Amino acid sequence: MVALIAICVVFASQSEFFLTERNLTTVLRNSVDLAVVCAGMTIIIILGGIDVSVGGIVAVSAVFIGRAYQLGMPDWVIVPVGLAVGAMLGAINGYIIAKSRVPPIVATLGTMYIYIAVLFLVIGGVWISGLPGTLSFLVLGEFAGLPAGIWIIGGVYGACYLLLRHMPWGQRVVAVGCDEASARLVGIRVDRTKIQAYALLGLLAGFAAVLYVARLRNVEVNIGTNIALEAIAATILGGANIRGGVGSLIGTLLGVIFIKLTQNGLVLIGVSSLWETVIIGGLLITVLVLDALEGRRTA
Amino acid sequence: MSQDLKLSMRGLVKRFGGVTALDAVDFEVRRGEVMALVGDNGAGKSTLIKTLAGAHQPDGGRIELDGREVHFATPQDAWSRGVATIFQELALAGKMTVADNIFLGREIIRPVAGVPFLDRRAMQRRSRELLDELDVEIPDIQIWVEYLSGGQRQGVAIARALNIDADLIVMDEPTAALAVAEVRKVLGFIKTLRAQGKSVILISHNIQDVFEVADRITVLRRGRNAGLVDTAAATPEDVVGLITGASVARRTADATP
């Protein structure tokens, strides 16, 4: 939070354009897909898991959406297709992790390569472009005077918050993240909870793909490349504990805004975007070191 | 007499490969009784309670609960039959509140338009009742369990067992690694449970604690029954003798003229 205000002050002092409504709206539009993925990533990290394959899920979902458009399908078919593909790929991750007991980072690294391969097999190295903009209102539109992105982020985060903090399912997620063996002992079906959580992240990644296609109206070969790392970074910066049990949706959202504002601000003040990754990486390490020090003190 | 028995285990056998961990062991607990289970390391205490908790399957013998034979395939089976085993690790989620832990896996729900929302107020009220009945002092039940003392955590684990209406509560070394004042508290919880008519199995290395709360003591030695004594009719030295095998040796010596 402090860091967020700090960068706003720095960028605002360096570029008059930074704090304009137009610029901030642009940042928001560019943040919506990442923010949506991050809500799911927060739940997965609270569960004690991690998913580095979300970029692949976004990519495969986007390819299915693009192809569906090319086949002339209507929006009311295309959106569910995108969501279903995402949820299915997420459920595959969850199934592998729950049943094989392979560490999630390794399992999803494996599926990431497979999902990327699917992307290339379908797309064949060529962009799918010139898609219709019938869904663009989801990102570019306005409802009741507020940009559509705010409504989407609000809706997704609101729903995830209720699910995580005010329903039994969220209790199960936190319990599994604290201690799997204990969760099992009180009768929680750990495997099922994991599969559901990864499927939820997949569903949100599918939704992010819908938003991505709606915004850019094409499917690039390198779609989703950075999204997994950005999502994990935003979640950790937002206060989630990589060892599970702890995380905050609001914190994650601040993490997303921080990352996107940093990217935007650095471009505006004319600094190479390489520095963006240095800043985010440096902060990530700072957060993790502080966390580890605190862990050592309480242990 | 057998109607009084809450739990009866007869001729229990458990082998691990070539090792016989339990060799025809008998064990019983009456209703409203605190039964201590003592023995040296490797005597078979853990194997016995893990069998009772559904974590191990016996290779032979019979387990009866309230006079009816039972088979526990999983720990959840045992929990659902009212046998709550509180292992040393306690099975609490450190980063959840006291009330959320007590209701973990069996939350109180208040549906709003068919969506199952947690009824936190009801869960907190009931948690407070359970903790008060046990005389567990936790000023704020909204804090994470990992901020509680060892004795308070024991209290939370017992409250959870009571919340599932467990009437046989198995406690594995509950006083190990606790400060003296905390030990008093936990022994107090056990007495409260007995006063409520619950049966308690107490596994402990501390003979002093055992003599303070247990009605009877079962001694295991090298996977076999080494003695069953009434606490009132025995001295700690007798029990230590049974644990180490010293009194068995003496008795055999007496028997040979």
How do the domains of chain B map onto residue ranges? 2-90+167-255
> Do A168 and B109 make contact, defined as CB atoms within 8 angstroms?
yes
Predicted local distance difference test score (pLDDT) of residue A39: 96
Predicted local distance difference test score (pLDDT) of residue A8: 67
For residue A240, give the nearest of A221, A254, A226 by alpha carbon: A254
A182 contacts in chain B (CB < 8 Å):
89-93
Instruction: Calculate mean pLDDT across residues A216-222.
Output: 81
* Structural domains of chain A in order of their starting residue, each with its CATH number: 2-7+20-127+145-298 (1.10.3470)
Say whether pLDDT at A14 is over 80: no
Spatial separation of the C-alpha atoms in residues A129 and A75, rounded to whole Å:
17
- Distance (Å) from the C-alpha of residue A9 to the closest C-alpha of chain B? 35
DSSP per-residue letters across chain A = -HHHHHHHHHHHHH-TTTTSHHHHHHHHHHHHHHHHHHHHHHHHHHTT---TTHHHHHHHHHHHHHHHHHTT--HHHHHHHHHHHHHHHHHHHHHHHHHH---HHHHHHHHHHHHHHHHHHHHTTS-B-----TTTHHHH-EETTEEHHHHHHHHHHHHHHHHHHSSHHHHHHHHHHH-HHHHHHTT--HHHHHHHHHHHHHHHHHHHHHHHHHHHSSB-TTTTTTHHHHHHHHHHHTT--TTSS---HHHHHHHHHHHHHHHHHHHHTT--THHHHHHHHHHHHHHHHHHHHHHHHH-
> Do B105 and A246 make contact, defined as CB atoms within 8 angstroms?
no
> Do B91 and A181 make contact, defined as CB atoms within 8 angstroms?
yes
Quote the pTM value. 0.86
- CB-facing half-sphere around the CA of B208: CA atoms within 13 A: 5
> Do A185 and B91 make contact, defined as CB atoms within 8 angstroms?
yes
> Do B91 and A188 make contact, defined as CB atoms within 8 angstroms?
no
Q: In whole angstroms, what separates CA A286 from the centre of its chain?
A: 22
Residue B202 φ/ψ, nearest 5 degrees:
-115, 115
What value does the mean pLDDT of chain A take? 86
Predicted local distance difference test score (pLDDT) of residue A2: 63
Spatial separation of the C-alpha atoms in residues B26 and B10, rounded to whole Å:
5
Predicted local distance difference test score (pLDDT) of residue A71: 86
pLDDT in tens, A236-259: 988 898 888 999 999 999 999 988
B108 contacts in chain A (CB < 8 Å):
none
Predicted local distance difference test score (pLDDT) of residue B210: 93
The stretches in chain B having pLDDT less than 70 are: 1-3, 247-257
> Do A182 and B92 make contact, defined as CB atoms within 8 angstroms?
yes
> At CA A246, angle to CA A242 and CA A247, rounded to 5?
85
A168 contacts in chain B (CB < 8 Å):
107, 109, 116, 118
> Do A182 and B89 make contact, defined as CB atoms within 8 angstroms?
yes
Predicted local distance difference test score (pLDDT) of residue B2: 52
* CATH code, B2-90+167-255: 3.40.50.300
Predicted local distance difference test score (pLDDT) of residue B42: 85
More confident residue, A132 or B141: B141
Tokens representing A82?
């995108």
Say whether pLDDT at A92 is over 70: yes
- Distance (Å) from the C-alpha of residue A289 to the closest C-alpha of chain B? 20
**Which residue, among B95, B110, B120, would best test binding to A if mutated, counting the most A CBs under 10 Å from its CB?**
B95
B95 contacts in chain A (CB < 8 Å):
174, 177-178, 245-246
> Do A171 and B117 make contact, defined as CB atoms within 8 angstroms?
no
**Which residue, among A45, A165, A182, A192, would best test binding to B if mutated, counting the most B CBs under 10 Å from its CB?**
A182
> Do B93 and A188 make contact, defined as CB atoms within 8 angstroms?
no
